[in-house]
Structure 1
Amino acid sequence: MKDCNIIIHSGTPFQLDVKDPQSELFDPTIIGTQNFLEAIKISPNTEKAVFIASVAAYNTNFPMPAEGKSFTDTFDENDIRSSSQESHPYAQAKFIANQVVEEFIQSNPEVPFEICSVSPVMVMGKSLSAREDSTSIGLQFLIKNKIAPDDFIQSIYHNNVPFAVVDVEDVANAAFSAATKKNLHGRNYLLTSETYKVWDIHQMLNQKEPKEKAQIIYKNDLAKLELGTQFRPVKETLNGYSSQNRNISEE
């Protein structure tokens, strides 16, 4: 990293099927973040570091509501953050890693570079690479085809859980904007578009109309204002994934 001016940290594991949470999620996510911070601290050319965090930095129960809130209560960067030891280990690890970043910023006011974070909700849409093995792509496949490989996914279907969704391209654009704009030190932006219940997400993944209107639960006002990010409608995001996979199957 010694020759890098801008560094985007996005290398934490995202997996739902976990046998050893400590070695598979907590250690690489938390210790990895600590090691990264120490590395950029001594890197002479660092001007900006951007963390791809997670909505779990604000609410580890996602897609369930934060403690004290209902499914229809809105949430933004000013709300009280919510963490539970009952949450999935991935979410807990991301919450703690975000605390590590904030503590580093507070303990090192003299660093000559900026650090900021972006926290996407459920990332969906067509893949930006040739890979099709990400957890996000896998979840879209499961929902599109009504597949429930475990009790967690089955409970999402059974309760028709609402998901706040953001397009993967919008996440990429927001990360680029955070990396290239100045005076964002210490900021953490929620990246989110609309919220739909999982069965309406299933409908849109199959090129059908949702039964209910979109809701705005997680809010994106700060990212729009300071990053200039424009978030596309969820229907466009899910249709894009569906069209990409239809084209692949036809080749």
Structure 2
Amino acid sequence: MNQVTQPGLGRSTVLVTGASGYIAGWIIQYLLEEGCTVHATVRDPNKASSVGHLLKMAENSPGTLKLFKADLLDKGAFTAAMEGCDIVMHTASPFVLEGFTDANEALVRPALEGTRNVLESVNACPSVRRVVLTSSVAAIYGDNCDIEKIPSRTFTEDHWNTTSTVDHNPYQFSKTVAEQEAWKMQQAQSRWDLVTINPAMVYGPSLTKGSQSASIDTLVKMGDGRLRTGVPKLTYGVVDVREVARAHVLAAFKPEASGRHILNAGELTMLQIAKILRGKFGKRYPFPTMEVPTFAVWAFGPLFDRSVSRDFIKKNVGYPVHFDNNRSKALGVRYRPVEETFTEHFQQILDDWLVKTR
């Protein structure tokens, strides 16, 4: 599925930032399978829980893995890792949705300055010819209600998030300003080009038990009973992590690749996701079976989950969203059924004992 057959791919040297991440792990596996030399940056190359799975996959592949220490906010930290690379895949970016007191320091500054630091190193490295940036549909739109401003009621790569701020949806804002900075820096020179991958909510099996994401947390809550009384009528796009990783490889090595690419296999409500899981795993787990009325979510939601504000509920619950994924299909991405994605993801959650088997 989504095989890359560009001549010379196996002779390429590729830098992958944030190599211990959920998406980055699959990218590195595919690159190593193709015979690439991968320069992988992490904050601590000696931390087994972060790099052990990468070292293991490199043992049984035709490619070569080299680990480098780098931090997003350290100027020049990526220079050594980038030496000799022709492709840079910048996946590193903070993904924190709660538990912080300063959104700018936790999210916006690392995303923006991290992107700037990486691309300044690209500007100083003459071998780099293309950068692939892991962005998000969060840079396309901020709240579901934003779709009402679009006549077609469908988000495309032409749209930008104009409603998020450091105070409202700071994660979405961080992804937006980071991608905008990347395009600004790319357009200021002519040696390297830029392709962005803008995935919807990413699901699917991880290559390490250490991965954390909002998608994993949602499935755990569905399986352990915290959402048994019902879920809000919240719709969002979903995509398999393996398709997202393949898209990065395709974007890197297809000469004609350019611009932004929405990665979305389909739009689902939380109840539809629960229905898929119930259909595969039966009644052994307390998956939600009903949607909570929106007025009740607005009244009581913030009392049960402090990370959910009434403003977010007002602007997202009850609004359907749709995405145009034709550019990703033209790139070569082939989407697997969402049922397969959720079944395999939840099975891994069970295997990792994040939800106890009943």
Fold agreement, TM-score > 0.5: yes
1:59 aligned partner:
141
Matches of 1:65 and 1:204 in 2, distance apart? 26
Matches of 2:138 and 2:174 in 1, distance apart? 9
**C-alpha deviation, 1:52, in angstroms:** 0.4
Matches of 1:164 and 1:67 in 2, distance apart? 13
Query: Does the 8 Å CA contact 2:262/2:328 hold for their aligned counterparts?
Result: yes
Matches of 1:8 and 1:136 in 2, distance apart? 22
The secondary structure found in structure 2 opposite 1:138 is: helix
Percentage of pairs with the same residue: 27
Mark the CA change 1:129 to 1:230 in structure 2 (over 3 Å): closer, same or farther.
same
Query: Does the 8 Å CA contact 2:157/2:261 hold for their aligned counterparts?
Result: yes
1:121 aligned partner:
200
Mark the CA change 1:22 to 1:82 in structure 2 (over 3 Å): closer, same or farther.
closer
**C-alpha deviation, 1:199, in angstroms:** 1.3
Gaps of 5+ in 2: 1-81, 283-288, 291-319
1:167 aligns with one of 219, 223, 240 = 240
2:269 paired with 1:193:
no
The secondary structure found in structure 2 opposite 1:140 is: helix
2:163 paired with 1:83:
yes
Max Rg structure: 2
2:348 paired with 1:244:
yes
Correspondence list, 1:207-226, <5 A: 207=280, 217-225=322-330
**C-alpha deviation, 1:146, in angstroms:** 4.8
Correspondence list, 1:125-164, <5 A: 125-147=204-226, 159-164=232-237
1:145-183 alpha-carbon deviations (Å, 9 max, x no partner)? 4536xxxxx9xx653101210000110110111111113
**C-alpha deviation, 1:94, in angstroms:** 0.5
Query: Does the 8 Å CA contact 1:143/1:201 hold for their aligned counterparts?
Result: no
1:72-120 alpha-carbon deviations (Å, 9 max, x no partner)? 9322223464433363111101111111012112222x2x222111000
**C-alpha deviation, 1:67, in angstroms:** 5.0
**C-alpha deviation, 1:203, in angstroms:** 2.4
The AA in structure 2 aligned to 1:122 is M
- Tell me how large the CA RMSD over aligned residues is: 2.7
By relative contact order (CA 8 Å, sep 6+), the higher-ranking structure is: 1
Mark the CA change 1:166 to 1:27 in structure 2 (over 3 Å): closer, same or farther.
same
Query: Does the 8 Å CA contact 1:121/1:191 hold for their aligned counterparts?
Result: yes
Matches of 1:216 and 1:80 in 2, distance apart? 15
The secondary structure found in structure 2 opposite 1:15 is: coil
Matches of 2:140 and 2:96 in 1, distance apart? 19
1:222-245 alpha-carbon deviations (Å, 9 max, x no partner)? 1101x1001122211111112223
1:230 aligned partner:
334
Mark the CA change 1:202 to 1:241 in structure 2 (over 3 Å): closer, same or farther.
same
1:95 aligns with one of 163, 176, 179 = 176
**C-alpha deviation, 1:26, in angstroms:** 0.9
Give the count of matched residue pairs: 233
2:251 paired with 1:178:
yes
The AA in structure 1 aligned to 2:275 is Q
